[in-house]
Each structure stands twice: as C-alpha cells, then as structure tokens.
C-alpha cells in the first residue's frame, strides 16, 4: 500500500485540498447570505438566494484555476525550479491536463446549480411584482425605489414583463446566457471523440473561452444582487420592523423606509491574475515561434517516418522533451507536438514524424519526400518551433536504475535518452548517477526498426570499445510476425548477430512477461529506487502501473512515470 502512496499520494492530496476549498467556499458564502442585511431579499427569494451565491463563489475560484494548468511555459519553468527540491512535486505538474479537465467539470456542475437557483429567483421576483396587494410584504418591498430607481430591492421594476424578457435586458442575464452557451459549446467540442478525430474543431471552439472570461467579468457589473445598505440596517432593523411594513417611513415609527443597494462585482479580483499570466504565456509562445528555424537535413525512413534536423539559435533542451511545430505554408493556425529525438549534447535538434494525417502528409510533400532529386536548402519550407516543454523523461538521469519501455512510435523520447547516455559516458566521461538502463521496445513490425537500429548498433559498438557492455540492457519484442520470417529466424538462431537488427542482443517475439522482468530487476538491485518510464498505450500503462505497485517491496521501489499528449 505504501507504494501506492508513493505513486499516487501527492495527486490525491492535491485533489482533496481542492475539493476542500470548494466545499469551504460553498458553505461560507451560503451562510454569508443568511445575515440580516439580506433579510428582505430572503423574504422574496427564500434560500434560493444562497443557493445561487454559493456556487457563484465556487465558480470564481474554479475559473481562476482553470487557466493555470494550460500555461505550458510557466509550468515548464516551475518544473525546472521545483525538481531540485522534490522529484515528486515536479512529476505532479505532468498531470496538468487531468487537473484542467477536473476543474472544467466542477465549473459545469456549479454553473448548473447557479442557473437552477436563479430560475427560482427570477420566478419569485416576478411573483412579487404580480401579487398586487398592499398587505403583501414582497409586493411592498418591490415598490421601494420606484421614485429614484436606485434604492430598489427587486431588479424587476414593472409587472408588465416576464422573466425571459428581463433576462435578455439585464447585463447579468445577457452575459449569463452568452457565457453559458460558450461553456456548453466548449464542452461538447472537447469530448474525446471530437478531440481525437477533429482536433481543429476542438481547438478553435475552445477559444470561445475568451468570450467566456469577458462575459464572466462583466456578469456582475449590473449589481443585480441587492441587500440593505449598512447605514439602513442601523436605523431599520429588519428583524424588528418586518411585521410593521404598513407603517414604514410614516411619522412616529422607528422604522424608516429601508434602502437597498447592489453588491459590487467581485469576479475580476479572482480572475485578473490568471488572465494576465495566460496573456503572458501566449506572448511567450508567439515570441518563441518567431525565432528563425532552419531545416538542415531531411531523411525519409521506411514505415513512413520523416526525420527533420533543424537548427534554432539559442535553443536549449533536456532529454525527452517535446516541441510544438508549425508550418505556415501548410496551416497558419495549427501547432502539432513532436518529441525531440536529438540529445542535448548535439548541435542540432531533430524530430521523427510519422506520416498519419493531412498535416504530416503535407509536410512530407513540402520537404520533397516524394521527389528523388535533392532539394536546395532554400526551397525547404519555413517552420516555427515552440518549446521545448518538459515531460517525465527529463527525470531519467535522477534514478540509479532505470526501466525504459517504448511501444512503437513511443520509443522516440528514449532515442533522445540513449543518445545522451552515449555522449555523457563515452565522450565526456562524466560521473553519471544512473548506473544501469533496461530498455524495452515493443514493436509490431520490423520495418520501423531501421532508424533506431542504427542508433543501437553504434551504441553497442561504443559500449564494447569502452568495455561497458553491462550498462545498457535492451530487449526488443516483435509483437507481430509472419510465419515465413519466424521459420527463417528459427534456422538462424545460432548466428551471433540477430538476423533482423544485426545487434548482439537478440530480438524476441510476443510480449514481455512483465512479472518476470520486474522480479529479476528487483533481485538484481535491492534497496534502490527504480524509475519506470513508459511512452505507449493506456493498456500498457495500467499493466505497468500495477506491476510497479505490486513489485515495490521493502527496499526496491518502482516509481512509474507516464508520457502522454
């Protein structure tokens, strides 16, 4: 159980604190409207007033939070500073998108409560204007302020209207409708089906958040929530005077007419900070994207993989980071994330792009992928690069023993890691904290190997020369194979080099037996923290997560890190 705490503890703590703050705000603001100042408001509205104000406070809090997890550059900066203190805290920042979604759901929930409560409020305000009867307190209260139109209680000022019209003619009502619509459109276009298949619709509709925030700040300008002014309460105590409403303000009573005023808007105080941070974030992204990027080399690999080597002045990266790339000649507005496959020690940055969709296909054509002649450098398209942004792989060198698992194209961040390993040990001979790397690559077909096999071959050669064969242990698993190939390999099993990759360590078939692998590593390295890094499908992540939890015994601790986009 303790290992579950090690893996998930901080996340659960953060969620509990966030929920706790929500509950506190809800209850506090519910109670805040049960005081005497709002006595007369409650005469008309009952508890629906509190039911509307409490979620409003929670909405202020959550709308403040929602912008923060998507400030990529700010998070990268925080991550870099925090990880010197605590690896766990830094890893927490990897789950920013999950938190963003949680906060969004909470906003939706509180919006629903807020709207339903206000439906009752509008209805009750309307009722009290329509029950024309001077011995009816709500009606009397609604008539206050008819002369000067400032000290009124009931925002519905006449009985010749209906709630729908009132909603569209008040600032609060109109902004409310607009921002709720924006919220609903944002949510429906963020469903997984739409997000994964039609990213552009998701991305463009999501920008309605600008409308949302403007409307949110403007929502309270009309000061539609009204209560007795402080001065009025001093001279007119509602508890004492409410039953004497027929004689208010007349000579000889000690109950003058009550005076009402609206509450000033509060939302801007909550959201102005994060809005400013987000604006800075977009400016930083824009500035970085304007920096000149030159494509120095284009390589076409089999299995439709395109490698681009680029140079950008002043670009600094760590292992396993990713960048966003844009190609203005293909699309002005699309930015796509790609993992960097180059090591920090190299003088260029490279990405390996798999050609799957419209944008990547267009990039392939623009880089001359379908032409056989060599293109001049100046004909290559202009690209913009934003990043690098940190992901879990940055932490690799902070563990003594490391397990790297890549499935298919998921091996790309580890290409960067292995290259960096080579540079560190072989060329610079630094005293690196990491003592042993176990590398697993699961791949459905052999063709995808080619560019990675080269890397592994040169690594193997270098390791042999420096007599460091034991540093890196890699296992390649073919999860799909043809019978004819298998027969050929069966015959060749005695050969020294693997017939597929030409490497000394053999290619295996099927899926790895994780139980055995974890047990073997646990026995080999007692008492150490083993970092497990995965870039691959969710099913594998669940399996590995479970293995980490079950194999963490006294001594060896397996800590699981997952990449995702």
Partner 1 sequence: MGKIEWAMWANEQALAAGLIYATGGIVGVAGQFRGWQFAAFGIAAGVFVCLLEYPRSKRGKGTSVERTGQYCFTVCVKAFGPLTRNYYVRAFLHAALCVPGGFMLATVLGCVCLGIASLIYLSAAIHGEHWEPILPRTEPPKRVGNSIKEPPQNPPPRPPPELRRKKADKLEPAAYDNPMSVTINE
Enumerate binding residues for partner 1 (CB under 8 A). Answer: 112, 115-116, 119-120, 122-123, 126, 162-164, 167, 177, 180-181, 184-185, 187-189, 191, 193-194, 197-201, 356-359, 483, 486-487, 490-491, 493-494, 508-510
Residues 6+ apart with CB under 8 A from 64: 270, 271, 273, 274
Residue 230 or 487 having the CB closest to partner 1:
487
Min separation Cβ 490 and partner 1, Å = 5
Residues 6+ apart with CB under 8 A from 187: 104, 108
Between CA 324 and CA 265 the distance in angstroms is 39
Judge contact between 206 and 190, C-beta under 8 A: yes
Min separation Cβ 174 and partner 1, Å = 12
Residue 371 or 490 having the CB closest to partner 1:
490
The full DSSP string for 250-275 is: STT-S-PPP-EEEPPP-HHHHHHHHH
Min separation Cβ 115 and partner 1, Å = 7
Residue 149 or 197 having the CB closest to partner 1:
197
Judge contact between 544 and 438, C-beta under 8 A: no
Min separation Cβ 305 and partner 1, Å = 18
Min separation Cβ 168 and partner 1, Å = 9
φ and ψ at 435, to 5 degrees? -105, -25
Residue 215 or 258 having the CB closest to partner 1:
215
SS3 string of 174-222? Answer: HHHHHHHHHHHHHHHHCCHHHHHHCHHHHHHHHCCHHHHHHHHHHCCCC
Residue 119 or 543 having the CB closest to partner 1:
119
Min separation Cβ 397 and partner 1, Å = 33
HSE of 93 in the Cβ direction (CA atoms, 13 Å)? 25
Residue 507 or 552 having the CB closest to partner 1:
507
Which residue, 404, 481, 477, 403, is CA-closest to 442?
A: 477
Min separation Cβ 444 and partner 1, Å = 17
Judge contact between 259 and 229, C-beta under 8 A: yes
Min separation Cβ 125 and partner 1, Å = 11
Min separation Cβ 197 and partner 1, Å = 6
Residue 31 or 184 having the CB closest to partner 1:
184
The full DSSP string for 508-553 is: EES---HHHHHHHHHHHSTT-EEEEEEES-HHHHHHHHHHHHHH--
Residue 144 or 216 having the CB closest to partner 1:
216
Tokens of residue 187, six digits: 């949510």
- For the chain, counts of helices (H) and of strands (E): 21, 14
Min separation Cβ 131 and partner 1, Å = 12
Residues 6+ apart with CB under 8 A from 213: 63, 271, 275
Residue 77 or 198 having the CB closest to partner 1:
198
Between CA 249 and CA 176 the distance in angstroms is 37
Between CA 533 and CA 25 the distance in angstroms is 39
First to last CA, the chain: 29
Q: Please, what's the b/e burial string for 204-239 (b: 16 or more CB within 10 A of its CB; e: otherwise)? A: ebbebbebbbebbbbbbebebbbbbeeebbeebbbe
Min separation Cβ 510 and partner 1, Å = 8
Between CA 250 and CA 461 the distance in angstroms is 102
The full DSSP string for 326-355 is: E-TTT-SS--EEEEB-S-TTSSSEEEEEE-
Residue 100 or 195 having the CB closest to partner 1:
195
Min separation Cβ 478 and partner 1, Å = 11
Between CA 266 and CA 280 the distance in angstroms is 23
Min separation Cβ 24 and partner 1, Å = 27
Residue 207 or 435 having the CB closest to partner 1:
207
Residue 88 or 159 having the CB closest to partner 1:
159
Peptide bond into 388 cis (omega under 30): yes
Judge contact between 544 and 534, C-beta under 8 A: yes
Tally of residues, the chain: 565
């Amino acid at each position: 159980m303790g290992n579950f705490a090690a893996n998930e503890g901080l996340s659960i703590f953060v969620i509990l604190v966030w929920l706790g703050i929500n509950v506190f705000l809800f209850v506090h603001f519910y109670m805040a409207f049960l005081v005497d100042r709002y006595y007369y408001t409650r005469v008309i509205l009952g508890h629906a007033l509190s039911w509307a104000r409490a979620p409003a406070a929670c909405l202020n809090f959550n709308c403040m939070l929602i912008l923060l997890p998507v400030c990529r550059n700010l998070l990268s900066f925080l991550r870099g500073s925090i990880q010197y203190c605590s690896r766990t805290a830094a890893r927490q920042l990897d789950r920013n998108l999950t938190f963003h979604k949680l906060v969004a759901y909470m906003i939706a929930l509180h919006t629903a409560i807020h709207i339903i409560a206000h439906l009752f409020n509008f209805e009750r305000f309307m009722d009290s204007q329509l029950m024309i009867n001077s011995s009816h307190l709500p009606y009397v209260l609604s008539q206050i302020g008819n002369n000067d139109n400032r000290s009124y209680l009931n925002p519905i000022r006449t009985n010749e209207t209906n709630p729908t019209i009132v909603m569209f003619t008040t600032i609060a009502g109109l902004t409310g409708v607009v921002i709720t619509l924006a919220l609903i459109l944002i949510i429906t276009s963020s469903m997984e089906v739409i997000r994964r298949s039609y990213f552009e619709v998701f991305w463009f509709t999501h920008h309605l958040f600008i409308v949302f925030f403007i409307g949110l700040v403007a929502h309270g300008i009309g000061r539609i929530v009204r209560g007795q002014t402080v001065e009025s309460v001093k001279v007119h105590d509602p508890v004492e005077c409410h039953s004497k409403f027929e004689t208010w303000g007349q000579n000889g009573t000690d109950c003058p007419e009550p005076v009402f005023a609206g509450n000033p808007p509060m939302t801007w105080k909550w959201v102005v900070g994060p809005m400013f941070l987000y604006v800075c974030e977009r400016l930083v992204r824009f500035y970085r994207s304007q920096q000149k990027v030159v494509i120095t080399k284009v390589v076409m690999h089999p299995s439709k993989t395109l490698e681009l080597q680029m140079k950008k002045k002043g670009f600094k990266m760590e292992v396993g980071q990713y960048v966003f790339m844009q190609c203005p000649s293909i699309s002005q507005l699309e930015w796509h994330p790609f993992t960097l496959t180059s090591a920090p020690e190299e003088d260029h940055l490279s990405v390996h792009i798999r050609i799957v969709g419209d944008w990547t296909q267009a990039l392939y054509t623009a880089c001359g992928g379908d032409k056989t002649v060599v293109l001049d450098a100046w004909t290559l398209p202009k690209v913009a690069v934003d990043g690098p942004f940190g992901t879990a792989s940055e932490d690799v060198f902070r563990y003594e023993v490391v397990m790297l698992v890549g499935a298919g194209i998921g091996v790309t961040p580890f290409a960067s890691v292995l290259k960096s390993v080579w540079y560190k040990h072989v060329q610079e001979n630094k005293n690196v904290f990491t003592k042993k790397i176990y590398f697993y690559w699961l791949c459905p077909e052999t063709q995808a190997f080619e560019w990675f096999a080269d890397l592994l071959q040169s690594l193997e050669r270098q390791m042999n020369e420096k007599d460091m064969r034991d540093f890196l242990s890699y296992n390649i698993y073919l999860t799909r194979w043809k019978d004819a190939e298998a027969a050929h390999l069966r015959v060749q099993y005695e050969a020294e080099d693997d017939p597929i990759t030409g490497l000394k360590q053999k290619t295996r078939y099927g899926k790895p037996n994780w139980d055995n692998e974890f047990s073997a590593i646990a026995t080999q390295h007692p008492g150490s923290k083993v970092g497990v890094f995965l870039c691959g499908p969710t099913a594998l992540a669940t399996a590995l997560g479970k293995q980490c939890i079950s194999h963490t015994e006294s001594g060896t601790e397996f800590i699981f890190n997952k990449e995702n986009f």
